[in-house]
Amino acid sequence: NLDRLASEAAELTDFYVSPVCSPTRACLITGRYNFRTRCIDTFKGRSMMEPEEFTMAEMLREAGYATGIFGKWHLGDNYPMRPQDQGFDEVLIHRGGGLAQPSEPIENEKRYTDPILFENGAEVKKEGYCTDIYFDEAIEFMKEAREAGKPFFAYLPPNAPHGPYHDVPEELLEYYQSIDLSPILNGNESERHKDTVARVFAMVENIDENMG
């Protein structure tokens, strides 16, 4: 499905990323070099983007678009750095760098399935696997925008694939654990490595299914 999307839509082939994700996200959402946005790392306060940055969401909202984010923001969890402060009308995100990381509510207990998320600033309990939830909510957002006759910008950055790999879609995990992964293991045939690869593949295919 991802390959089909690339073949039938616009594909961006030149994009320069930082070694870690928050600075790259700042570049993507602003179009500017990450050091200009004051976002230079992923922790210890260095993943908070300068609130005065003008984001893609702010630009498109000014042009009459409905704007929504579903998944991972990681550019600041508090006012005035939250996505709802930076141009997004509809927001469903986790905090910080991901579920099962120190930024999540303690009571979430490191769950990717049935996670506690934040919807327009309010803490909410959702049912289902995190990636499925983000896509389902984004689809509903797009349908509503279409029914209202508005163009829309749906920013859909899931937190998977990302460690820890303890909670992945079970059916896909069983499939990848059952097949021979030797051709892509780069000589590392340890059971731990094979299990990790199977879990990452399960997360990736889950995204591909949702894209479909």
Given a contact cutoff of 8 angstroms between Cβ atoms, the answer to whether 206 and 160 are in contact is yes
Active site residue 21: yes
Alpha helices per DSSP H over 84-190:
130-147, 170-178
* Closest residue by Cα to residue 19 from 27, 11, 31: 27
Six token digits for residue 172: 């896909």
Distances (CA, A) of 183 to 23, 138, 179, 187, 192: 33, 36, 11, 8, 16
Active site residue 39: no
Q: Which of 21, 27, 39, 130 does the annotation list as catalytic?
A: 21
Q: Which of 27, 74, 94, 130 does the annotation list as catalytic?
A: 74
Q: Are strands 116-119 and 90-93 parallel, antiparallel or unpaired?
A: antiparallel
Residue numbers annotated as active site: 21, 74
